[in-house]
Structure formats: structure tokens, C-alpha cells
Amino acid sequence: MLSRAMIRIREMTYRVAGRVLFDAASATVPSGHKVGLVGRNGSGKSTLLRLLSGSLHLDSGEIAIDGIAGNPNAIGTVEQEAPSGDQTPLDFTLAADRERASLLERAEVETDPLRIAEIQERLVDISAHVAPSRAASILAGLGFDEPAQNQPLSSFSGGWRMRVAIAALLFAEPELLLLDEPTNHLDLEAAMWLEMHLRAYPKTLVVVSHDRDLLNRAVTGILHLENLKLTYYTGGYDRFERVRAERLALQDAMARKQASQRKHMQAFVDRFRYTASKARQAQSRLKALERMDVVSTGAAEPTTVFRFPEPAVLPPPLVTFNKASVGYAPGEPVLTGIDLRLDADDRIGFLGQNGNGKSTLAKLIAGRLERMAGESHRTAKLKVGFFAQHQVDDLVLEDTATDHLARLMPDAPKDRVRARLGGVGLVQDKQTTKVKHLSGGEKARLTIALITHDSPHVLILDEPTNHLDIDARDALVQALNDYKGAVILISHDRRLLELTVDRLWMVADGTVQPFEGDLSDYAGWLRDRAKASSAKKTKTAVGGEGGEAKGRGNRKEMRKAAADRRKENADIRKAAREAEKALEKLTARRQTVIDKLGDPLTYEMSTQEVKALVQKKEAVDREIAAAETAWLQASEALEAAE
């Protein structure tokens, strides 16, 4: 059933501790639309979600959500505190459908045949009979296999329990779904599943996310929070970025043109205001200046920059392992049969679900865990920078960024310490602000500065982007590509992996193997594995051991079919890439024309030349529209093929 929830925000003003977050902001989100809420860290995105949910109240203005009157469960949000207790993930998820839970409870105690019939009829209407399988499917998508779905919540870590909270919310399917950075608690596999699930979500969605892939594939619009206002753009994040850049360029052009006009008018006034024959004209221009609404230049947001110190050159290989095993003594090894080599120019991404041993392998390479068996070699003087999420939480809250880095660089002059902090985007007063007052993104940047203080030869980054906004993520991509050492990435951010790594290692089934293919191939592999698992369950249930043997043969056939499909899809992928490149070239051409139109000197040209320039822009606009259509068709064909 399609959503009825429509959001109307009118003249919204809200302050926190005297600081204005929204000033007469207005926006409308049509019912059934899926919207990405974006803006700089600290601009008020999470606050807006709480205002929409009703947990905070406006200073002035109005937020109206049509289509939810009388439905107390129409708005769904994930609670800050992860669920716990003896309840299982499956039971907790099923309980999120309060109507179903209430009907089942009443059915247990009801004795009136008429009322029992009414209850059963309503249970049929809401498809209560398929609820357990639907809940199990959602939990499986978020990484819970069948045994895990039936363990007590108290046996899971906080991150896994937050996954259960997300599963329950998706199962309840509220009219208005509000999500705040939902992929922060997920691995790559679960993030890819969530992206597909949200894309098909039939009701209204507002999601705060810095995941560019999710914002391009799962939403139909972008709500941008900037300068205390809200602006709604149709389409995904890439389109929003392009349209906004054009708007800022045109605004800058108008501002420059107006400034030139004001300058000429003011010069006339200054020259002739006291000349009798020209005084009336001068007075007229002065009044025109006073009436003129000043066009401000487009306020482009500050650009984040990352710069990593260049490591010294070491002889290859940096690290090798031969038939190695690693784990946590005195227990059994987590990974065995490890055969790998790491060189200075390697860019490697780890694949595999959380709990398979990715972090264990990273610790082995970093030298934080000793191998339990096998052989290994590590180049002398090797330095490794290791980023893990817990390090952000281990910062000393009462100390400043300068205090933290100065402890690691006691002999370095203050200017060098400040320069290192500036290299991760911590500038000016942020360097001397206590950590407890820094945002999550600023703490992550400080942690990156700490792990790179001694110019490491290898950077191992375990989910480095959880607290970084989109601009900072793009800056991190650039810095990693410029970095002269080896890079190992564990991340749910597909864009980060696609733009930085050139090799993939699969950590699964107690070992490590190279994965032949790219992330699109990996997504296909995951789908094939899910289908094979489903087929195996069916065959085992029907045919017992014979069905299991037959299933093994079918899985081999399915793997071959999947490989054949990937080969057939290569041409479609090529067409999609070529269409995207063509669109990028046309966009660059249009930007050149826009820049020319924004130049005040352009308007000193002849009218015919200016008209030709405008016609050129219109022609490029038509080409871009056609190229966008071709790109969308190619992308849809690729998606259908995969």
C-alpha cells in the first residue's frame, strides 16, 4: 500500500542553546517520496528528524504531516538505545507490528466465536501468516542467519543490536520512516541489502546519510540544509550536486554583473551629484541604488582537504604470510591457511560479513596479533597506521587536538603539529577546542592525524568514514590515491572502495582468498549465494540427504551460470560507463559556457555574440538531457541484467 504521509514545513524556526539551526525554513516532501537529508556536520540534520518525529517542538512556524491522523505508529524512528534482554531478534522484530501482536494476544483469550472470526479476518487482511518469514528475510538481509535470529539479544554487541532495531523498524513499515545514518552499524553486505530494500520502500522516507551510493540509488529527492534554510531537489545526490553548482555559478554571475552596474552608477553619482545640470540624474541613480536588492555571491561550502605525510621507501615485500593461522589464544584460530603478500603500492579492500575475521586479519598485518602457526616476514622499520572505530571513543575528552598530537610528537615545533592537524581538516580554533566539544567527524579526523603522525608505510582503515560527511569522504579518496604507501580498507562505503582499491580479498569460511572481479561482481555473487542457500533449504526439506547432494551439483551449475551472466553483462557495463563519461564531458562543456556567461567582460561583447553564447548553452542543455536519458537507460539495463 502506498504511503499517505506528506510533509509540509512552513516558516520553521528552531534554536538550540541560543544557536539558530533553522530560520523561517520551508519545504514540502510529497507522499511516497524517498528523500535524502544532507548538509554539513552540525548543521541540524538529526535535529530535523527529531522535529519531524515530534520529540522536539518548534520555536515558531509549523510542521504538518498529512495522512497520518489517528495512527500513533505512523512515524518510525530508531531509538538511540539498542534493544537488549532475553527476547530474540526474530521475536523483537515481529513485536514491532503492534496490531498483529495485539490481535494474536486477543485471539489467545477470546471466547466469543464472532469476535474470534473478526480477529482472524483482520489477521488475514494484514497478511499476518507471512509475517514470520518476512521478518526472517529482513533479519537475514541485515546479516542474521537462522541460528542468530533465535539467540537472546543480550548475546549480541551494541552494533548488532542496532541492526535488530533497524530490522524491526523496516518490518513495521511506518507511513513515514526516519533514518539517521543507518549504514553506520552495517558491513558492506548489509549496506548493499539495505540500499535495495529502501529503494523499494513503498512509503515516505527521510534518511540522513553520507553514503553517496545510497543517496544516488535509494532516494528520489535531496533535501539540502544550508544557511539555516531547506531546499528540495529532485533526483539523486549526483544530480543535486550538479544542479546546485549551476545555481551557485549563475548566482555568482548575477552578483558580479550587479556589482559592475552598481559601480558605474555610484561613479556617476559621485561625479555629478553636485553638478547642477546632472544633479537630477545623479539623484535618480542614487535612489535606484537604494532600491536595488543586493544579489549575494553563492556561498560555496568550505572544502575539506586531507594530506598524509609521505613514508620512506622500504624494500618489497612489506609483509608476507605463508600457511599462517591467527586467532585469540587460548581459543581456536579464527583464520587459517593465510597466504598473502603486501607491497608498498597495494590498494586492497576486505570483503566478508562482520564476524568473519576482517578485523582479525587487519590486526595480524598490523602486528597487533601474533600468528598461531605458519610463517611470516615483516620488513625492518615497517610502520603501520591503524584506524579503528574504538580509537575515536578512546580520545581524552578534556584535551585538545593539539594536546593529543603533541604527546606523539614531543620534539616537533608547534607549527609542525598545527600543520599536521591542518592536513586532516582541523584548522584554527578546532585545534585548541576540547575533544568533548568536537563533532564525530572532527574526532575521526583527529584520529587519522594521530595514526599518520610518524609517516607510516601502511594505512589500515577499519570503517574510517562513519562520521565523515560527503565532502570529507571525497577528500579522503583523493588523499588515499595520492598516498605513497600501501592501503588496506574495511568499509561499507562502496564509493570509497571503488575509487581507491584495485584488489579485493575475501575473508570468509575461516580463510582469506583473492576475489576475482569488482564490487558489481561481488553484489552478483552475494545474490547467487542467497539463491543457492534458499534452494538448498528447499531441497533438503523435500529430499533429505539426496536433496543435499543434488543441491551441491546445482550450486556448481549456479556458479557457472553466474560467471556466464557476468561475462554477458560486460558489454552492458561498458555502455553504462561510456554513457556516464559522455555525460561528464557535456557537463564540463556546459560549465565552461556558464562561466563565460558569468564573466562581466562577456557583456561588453556584441549583442550577437552574447546571444550566440546563450544559444550554445541551450544546445548543450539539450545534449545533456539526451545524454542523461541514455545514461539512465544504460544504468537500468545494467541493473536489470545484474
Q: What is the pLDDT of residues 184-240, one digit of tens each?
A: 889 899 999 999 899 989 899 999 998 998 999 999 999 999 889 999 999 999 999
DSSP-derived letter for residue 436 is G
pLDDT of residue 303: 61
Contacts of 305 (CB under 8 A, 6+ apart): 423, 425, 475, 479
CA distance 152 to 83: 11
| Contact (CB, 8 A) for 528 and 558 | yes
Query: 101: how many CB neighbours lie within 10 A of its CB?
Result: 15
Give the pLDDT confidence of 310-350 residue by residue, as tens digits. Answer: 999 999 999 999 999 999 988 889 999 999 999 999 999 99
Q: For residue 227, what is its C-alpha cell?
A: 544557511
Amino acid at 429: D
Q: Is 455 left (phi over 0), alpha (psi -120 to 50) or beta?
A: left
Q: Is the pLDDT of residue 60 over 60?
A: yes
Alpha carbon separation from 547 to 327, 495, 531, 553, 559 (Å, rounded): 35, 40, 16, 10, 18
Alpha carbon separation from 604 to 262, 529, 558 (Å, rounded): 16, 65, 68
pLDDT of residue 620: 81
CA distance 487 to 348: 6
Question: What is the arithmetic mean of pLDDT over 139-148?
Answer: 92
* Strand arrangement of the beta sheet that strand 458-462 belongs to: 384-387, 458-462, 486-490, 347-351, 503-508, 511-515
pLDDT of residue 540: 47
DSSP-derived letter for residue 513 is E
Q: Is the dihedral of CA 612, 617, 618, 619 positive or negative?
A: positive
The yes/no answer on whether domain 319-515 falls in CATH 3.40.50.300 is: yes
Q: Is the pLDDT of residue 640 over 70?
A: no
Look-up of cell digits 603500492? 345
What percent of the chain stands above pLDDT 70? 85
Q: Is the pLDDT of residue 95 over 80?
A: yes
Q: Is the dihedral of CA 154, 155, 158, 162 positive or negative?
A: negative
Q: Is the peptide bond before 330 cis (omega within 30 degrees of 0)?
A: yes
Note every long-range contact of 195-200, with CB atoms under 8 Å and residues 24 or more positions apart, other chains counting: 197/138, 197/141, 197/170, 198/34, 199/34
Q: What are phi and psi of 86, to 5 degrees?
A: -85, -10
| Contact (CB, 8 A) for 137 and 193 | no
* Inter-helix orientation angle 158-172/188-199, to 10°: 10
Give the pLDDT confidence of 270-319 residue by residue, as tens digits. Answer: 776 667 666 677 677 677 667 766 655 555 555 667 889 999 999 999 99
Contacts of 388 (CB under 8 A, 6+ apart): 359, 462
Rounded to 10 degrees, the C-alpha dihedral 93/94/96/101 comes to -160
pLDDT of residue 252: 72
pLDDT of residue 126: 80
Q: Is the dihedral of CA 132, 136, 139, 145 positive or negative?
A: positive
CA distance 374 to 323: 5
What percent of the chain stands above pLDDT 90? 44
pLDDT of residue 612: 79
DSSP-derived letter for residue 400 is B
Stronger pLDDT, 393 or 567, i.e. the higher one: 393
Q: What are phi and psi of 461, to 5 degrees?
A: -120, 115
Contacts of 247 (CB under 8 A, 6+ apart): 298
Question: What is the arithmetic mean of pLDDT over 5-10?
Answer: 92
| Nearest one of 346, 350, 374, 375 to 360, comparing CA atoms | 350
| Contact (CB, 8 A) for 175 and 202 | no
Stronger pLDDT, 190 or 68, i.e. the higher one: 190
Give the pLDDT confidence of 440-453 residue by residue, as tens digits. Answer: 888 999 999 999 99
pLDDT of residue 276: 65
Question: What is the arithmetic mean of pLDDT over 508-521?
Answer: 90
Q: Is the pLDDT of residue 536 over 60?
A: no
Q: Which residues, listed in sequence order, are joined to residue 37 by a DSSP beta bridge?
A: 208, 223
